[in-house]
Chains A and B, each alone.
Chain A
Amino acid sequence: MFGSLKLKHKIFAGFISVGLVATAIAVFSYGTFNLVSTNFRIFVNSSNSAQLGLLLARDVSEIQRQALIYTYEAHGSAAEQVHELYRGMSDTLQKSSEHESEYIKKIRAHLKAYMSTFEQLQKQKQLQHRLVYNDIRTSASDAEKHLRSYIKLISNHEDHTSLLQDERILNTLLLVEKNAMRYFDSLDPQYIGEAKENLAEVRKRLQKIEANDTSKAAMDHIRPAMKEVVEYERVFLEAVARTRGYLFLVNVVMAAEAYEVLYNAKLMSAQISQEMGEIEQGTFSMLQQVIGTLVVAIGISLLLVVILSLLIGRSITNPIVSLTTAFRALSKGSHHAEIPVYEADDEIGHLTRAASVFKEKNRQTEQLLDHKKQLAKELEGNKKELERSNDELEQFVYTVSHDLKSPLVTSMGFIGIIQKLAAQGKLEEAVEKLDRVVKSNERMGQLINDLLDLSRVGRVDMDKIDIDLNELLASFHEVHSQQIEKAEFTMQIEPGLPVIYANESRILQLFENMLSNALKYAYNPAGSVLSIGSKEHDDAYLVWFRDNGPGIPEEYHEKIFGLFYRLDPETEGTGIGLAVAAKVMKFHNGKIWVESSPGEGATFWLSFSKNEEDSE
């Protein structure tokens, strides 16, 4: 099928095939790179998410650290840091909302709860701070102020022992504050108990003073002092409760929320890392497969290109090489050059057909050359014939002039003699001489008749028919039987003579000449025999006339067919008979030749073509 394609179609098919393969590889590569690109984007996003997890883990650790700093150190900047970190983490989570996972949702919820708790912590801390650093001190200071005022009032009339006891109340009151502050510093509940015991002791002593001293001074200072001490204890215990409250918030509630953020961030990072690992592994495997596939595809495409190139190249070069060979042969004139079979209607097809045309031309040229050679050969033959004819003509002219001149000279001689004899009056002698003149003229007449016969051959009686030589020669024998007997010849005609296509008159003339020639030259005193027979040779019938006469020397085998040539000039005749025979045979495109050796008789062969057209 491929071979039937046109050249340009083959080239197009090749390019299209390669283009399709290249396109397929390109599409495949595009798909692959697209997938790799997608994976890369996912990888980058995952990487960002993983980074998000790490950032959240870092920030949540920091936010809890800052919260603890705020809790224990009451640094306002730490609280601001907590809020700042929370805003940062919220913003980060907000940015990641496009790829929100369950982990992100959980992280957001826990972070929100964390911050909500921190805000509660701040309120508790602020309340606690006010209680510890303001209310407690105010209460302690007020109670101390009332007590000192009371001590100052009574110092003038109280005994030393009582004053000392009152001073101890002040010291115990100071211990309350000291123990309270120890608790808030150390968070050791032991100091709560001690502070409460101190307060109880202060209250007890104040109650005792109140019971023992009913003076106005006592009423004015001890009762307010007692009131302040009660308030002092209330404020202290509330501060303790709020301290425990925010400690619970930061160490239990917020720690748990922070841990959940950490935990989910780590899980998210781990999951993302796993996904990234899977993507990486998948991408790597895919790339390996793609590379393998591409190598195979490229190999196949190269193979395809090679095969196509070979196919196309061979489909182009083979016919061209064959055509080149053919043209090379054609250029040398060969018409045997092998033209490759090429059916496609393309340029090579055109060349192939041109080669066929050249081949045909070469064949025709060769035919023409053959014909030319034939013509040249014929021309050569004609030339020889013409030369022979010229020779014959010269011979003829010479012979005619000579042979015609001879009787004429003879006749003129005798006429002169007759004239002389007539002048001398020797009439009888002269008349006797006239006979000689007549004979000379008759001979000249005979010559002229024979020449006429010769000239008629080929000009008159041209019609040819199939002639059965058996019948013709039988009739010929009968007609000439007396002549043959007179010449003491025996004529033998063999049966099985052929039927030839010829002019019957000429053939009879031929046979008569052959018979006349035999009768003149083939006399055998032992008994002359003229036998006639035939045989087939190739595409010709060979008819032979064989005598048992003295034979003909070989040097005369050609000459005897010349005009006016006679083996024996003494023998009667004009020497034209065999020349006529030869001309008759030529007229029939046949040949005549003689085979003979002296003393062994002679055989004249007449060759007639079996093909009627050759006899034309």
Chain B
Amino acid sequence: MGYEIHVKADRRDFLKKSGSLVLGAAATLAFPNIIRARDSRPTIKVVGTHVTLQEKIRKQAEQDLGINIEFYPGGSAEVLLRASADPSSFDLYEQWSNSINVLWQANAIQPISTNKLTYWDEINDLTKKGRISPNAKIGLGDAPYKLLNVQPDGSLGSRHTGEISFLPYVHNTDSYGYNSAVIPKGVPYETESWGWLLDEQYRGKVALVNAPTIGLFDAALAAKAQGLMEFKNMGNMTRPEVDELFKILVDFKKRGHFRGVWSSVPHSVDLMKSGEVVIQSMFSPGVSALKGMGIPCIYAAPREGYRAWHGVMCLSSESTGERQEAAYEFMNWWLSGWPGAFIARQGYYISNPERSRAHMSKPEWNYWYAGKPASEPLRGTDGYISVQLGEIRTGGSYINRFENVAIWNTVMDSYEYTLLKWNEFVLS
């Protein structure tokens, strides 16, 4: 899942918190069913992760919109459970596209009318059609465009209907990171490969992210790159394929190939910092943190393509009336330019980038979106220098990166089964 944040303040242990459901469950039960008005202005509740539920964004939105906004950030699993189990606990849900099926299946969210989205026409083809450019790979799994449109039969599909399941906004690509002090530096898109994760020479020093909807695809991409197995559709594996993949993974694990799994970005940083791991699934904030510590961690551009993620903003099935209108205002605000520029400085992309361009300096745009060397040191959202002069973003430009998407984070039909197998893998 994407958490490419370049500021230390946003390096949160999302998966850790995704497991911290005590508060979540309590909060779920404690959520008021009636949204209180404050200062006669409408108030909306937003649940999501720390990636987008940032205080600066909330304050800016309140200021710009004149509404009250309450953020309830949490771990991805926590907020998904909360939202799917209790739609009345939120108005807007911010998470990843792989949670859409769960929410939609749970009737936790309602269709969003594109007519009410001011900048709908500016949203690029990545989300609308599945390709950022005509030559781009669509990517396996739940590519966002497949889940975007609400079909007449109530299902989700790619055909435009005027109603969508989520507002396309923040997205990014993920891959693996490796310590170039140990592993020779590869050539992006040429020699760097997901297969490195299952390279025997790194035995005992490999880790995966502890999330079946993410780490499983890293492992699947690695197994395929190593020629260990083929998938009919890696984005929606059959049970036999899941069995075969886990057989391979368990076999590797029993031979001591994996150090283990990491459950938070700090955990991933510790593993590579301590030398326990030299190559692993990584999120952008972890790579930045390691670089800041002087560890030459390279965020690979695998020749097989990235594992991409797409943020979704969903409207609660319980949100109606004034709150629903305020929620639409907040969604439109997100695509109005300032928020896109804000999160661009944290390494994330917005679905209508041109609208944000006006809010970014030319060097910022060139570095974050155009894939050019930084012509000056660039500051992150915390005000500190996050990009040094001359630095180039790995993987190139926004277009380059999203032209090379191998797969999207996906909740497969075999989700529950993968959970069981994941347990077996982790403890084998």
Tell me the chain A residues, 346-361 only, with Cβ under 8 Å from chain B: none
- Given A124-B81, A238-B84, 4 extra CB contacts under 8 A: A237-B106, A237-B107, A252-B210, A256-B263
Interface-centre pick from B105, B108, B263, B426 (highest chain A CB count, 10 A): B426
Shortest distance between the CB of B151 and any CB in chain A (Å) = 14
Verify if B413 is at the interface (C-beta below 8 Å from A): yes
Verify if B31 is at the interface (C-beta below 8 Å from A): no
Which residue of chain B lies nearest to A247 when distances are taken between CB atoms in the complex?
Answer: B419
Count of A-B contacts with CB under 8 A? 126
- Whether A189 pairs with B261 at a CB distance below 8 angstroms is no
Complex Cα spacing A258 to B422, Å = 13
Tell me the chain B residues, 10-27 only, with Cβ under 8 Å from chain A: 15-16, 18-22, 24-25
Verify if B134 is at the interface (C-beta below 8 Å from A): no
Partner of B77, one of A237, A248, A259: A248
What chain A residues lie within 8 Å of B108 (beta carbons)? 237, 241
**Quick one: given A252-B211, A256-B261, are A242 and B81 in contact (CB under 8 Å)?**
yes
- Whether A255 pairs with B22 at a CB distance below 8 angstroms is no
Complex Cα spacing A247 to B85, Å = 14
10 closest pairs, A vs B, by CB? Answer: A253-B19, A241-B84, A251-B423, A120-B21, A187-B416, A245-B81, A255-B426, A251-B419, A237-B106, A241-B85
Which residue of chain A lies nearest to B107 when distances are taken between CB atoms in the complex?
Answer: A237
**Quick one: given A237-B106, A252-B211, A258-B427, are A120 and B260 in contact (CB under 8 Å)?**
no
Interface-centre pick from B24, B154, B263 (highest chain A CB count, 10 A): B263
**Quick one: given A189-B413, A233-B107, A262-B427, are A238 and B419 in contact (CB under 8 Å)?**
no
Interface class of chain B by DSSP: helix
**Quick one: given A64-B427, A123-B25, A245-B77, are A192 and B105 in contact (CB under 8 Å)?**
yes
Tell me the chain B residues, 238-280 only, with Cβ under 8 Å from chain A: 259-261, 263
Q: List 9 A-B contacts (CB under 8 A).
A: A120-B22, A123-B21, A196-B105, A234-B107, A237-B106, A245-B85, A253-B263, A259-B260, A262-B427
Interface class of chain A by DSSP: helix
Verify if B212 is at the interface (C-beta below 8 Å from A): yes
Shortest distance between the CB of A475 and any CB in chain B (Å) = 142
What chain A residues lie within 8 Å of B259 (beta carbons)? 263
Complex Cα spacing A245 to B416, Å = 10
What chain B residues lie within 8 Å of A491 (beta carbons)? none
Shortest distance between the CB of B27 and any CB in chain A (Å) = 12
Residues of B in contact with A, size category? 35 or more
Verify if B415 is at the interface (C-beta below 8 Å from A): yes
**Quick one: given A187-B416, A241-B85, are A256 and B77 in contact (CB under 8 Å)?**
no
- Could you mark each residue 542-581 of chain A with 1 if its beta carbon is under 8 Å from any beta carbon of chain B, else 0? 0000000000000000000000000000000000000000
What chain B residues lie within 8 Å of A68 (beta carbons)? 423
Shortest distance between the CB of A198 and any CB in chain B (Å) = 14
What chain A residues lie within 8 Å of B21 (beta carbons)? 117, 120, 123-124, 245, 249
Verify if A244 is at the interface (C-beta below 8 Å from B): yes
What chain A residues lie within 8 Å of B261 (beta carbons)? 256, 259
What chain A residues lie within 8 Å of B86 (beta carbons)? 238
Verify if A338 is at the interface (C-beta below 8 Å from B): no
Partner of B84, one of A116, A120, A237, A253: A237
Shortest distance between the CB of B144 and any CB in chain A (Å) = 20
Verify if B30 is at the interface (C-beta below 8 Å from A): no
- Whether A117 pairs with B106 at a CB distance below 8 angstroms is no
Verify if A113 is at the interface (C-beta below 8 Å from B): yes
Verify if A119 is at the interface (C-beta below 8 Å from B): yes
What chain A residues lie within 8 Å of B210 (beta carbons)? 252-253, 256
Tell me the chain A residues, 394-433 only, with Cβ under 8 Å from chain B: none
Which residue of chain A lies nearest to B419 when distances are taken between CB atoms in the complex?
Answer: A251
Verify if A250 is at the interface (C-beta below 8 Å from B): yes
Partner of B415, one of A124, A244, A262: A244
- Whether B417 pairs with A187 at a CB distance below 8 angstroms is yes
- Whether A240 pairs with B105 at a CB distance below 8 angstroms is yes
Shortest distance between the CB of A241 and any CB in chain B (Å) = 4
Shortest distance between the CB of B250 and any CB in chain A (Å) = 13
